Amino acid sequence: MDLYSFFNSSTSYRVRIALALKGVDTEYHGVNIRTGEHCVPEYVAETNPSACVPAIVEKGFSLGQSLAIIDWLDSAYPEPRLIPMDPVRRARVLEFSQVIASDIHPVNNLRVLKYLQDALKVTPEQKQAWYQHWVDEGMNSVERLLLRSAKEYAGPWTFGDSPSLADCCLIPQIANALRMNCNLSKYPEAMRVYEHATSHPAFVKAEPSNQPDYISP
C-alpha cells in the first residue's frame, strides 16, 4: 500500500495510527503541504482529487479523507477493529470522532490559518487567539464526552480497553494543540488518554517526528 502523508498533518497522523495498529505495511510518500505539493496537478488527478493529505493507493484503488480511509481499513484489514460493530458503541465512537474531525480541525487546519494570515492579514497574535478559541470550544465537548464514556466504558482508552477511531482522532488533535501552545490543563480526561496512548508502540510509530519527511522546527 502507498501512503501519501505530511508528517505534521493531523489527518495523516490519524491514518498512520490506524495503519500501525493494524500492522499494515506501506510505502511512504511525503507530500509537503507547506509548499503546495498537494496541489500539483498530477497528484490531484492521479491520487487525491480533494487536493489534500492523506491518501492511500492499493492495487489501483485510491482514497482520500482520513475517516473514510480508516473505515475502509476496518473492512479490508478487520483486526483490530477501530469502529465498533455494536450499534451503540459505534455511535459513541463516531460522535466523539466527529467533534474533532468536524468541529475542531476544519477551522484550524493549515489552509484556513494561511488564509487568515495571507488574505485577511490578521496578526500572529490574532491567528493564535483564533486557534486557541476553537480548540477550547471543541475540547470542552471532548472532555464532557470522555467523562460520560468513563461511566459507560471504563478503561485507559477513550472507549474502554482498546484503541478506536476516537483515539486515532484525539491524539493528533492534542499533539497539534500542544504544538500551538494551547493550555490543555483544563482537560484532565483527555490528557490522561493522551499520556496512555503516546507510550503505545503504534502511536509512537505514527508520531510526526518518526516520519521520513519530518522537518525539525
Whether 18 has a pLDDT exceeding 90, the answer reads yes
Secondary structure in 3-state letters for 2-62 = EEEECCCCHHHHHHHHHHHHHCCCCEEEECCCCCCHHHCHHHHHHCCCCCCCCEEEECCEE
- SS3 of 83, please? coil
Stated as kind and residue range, the H or E segment containing 199 is none
CB contact at 8 A, 32 and 213: yes
Whether 217 has a pLDDT exceeding 90, the answer reads no
C-alpha cell at 43: 497528484
C-alpha cell at 129: 487567539
Model pLDDT, residue 181: 95
Model pLDDT, residue 16: 98
- For residue range 20-37, list pLDDT tens digits in order: 999 999 999 999 999 999
Using pLDDT thresholds of 50, 70 and 90, give the confidence band for residue 165.
very high
* Cα dihedral across residues 17, 80, 50, 48: positive or negative: positive
Rounded Cα distance between 216 and 84, Å, is 36
Q: Return the CATH fold of 2-80.
A: Glutaredoxin (3.40.30)
Q: How many CB atoms lie within 10 A of CB 182?
A: 20
Say which amino acid occupies 179. Answer: R
Pairing of β 2-5 and β 55-58: antiparallel
- For residue range 58-110, list pLDDT tens digits in order: 999 999 999 999 999 999 999 999 999 999 999 999 999 999 999 999 999 99
Model pLDDT, residue 202: 98
Say which amino acid occupies 173. Answer: Q
CB contact at 8 A, 129 and 137: no
Domain ranges of the chain: 2-80, 87-202
Rounded Cα distance between 142 and 171, Å, is 12
The fraction of the chain above a pLDDT of 70, given in percent, is: 100
CATH number of the 87-202 domain: 1.20.1050.10
Rounded Cα distance between 160 and 154, Å, is 5
**Which residues face 28 on adjacent strands?**
3
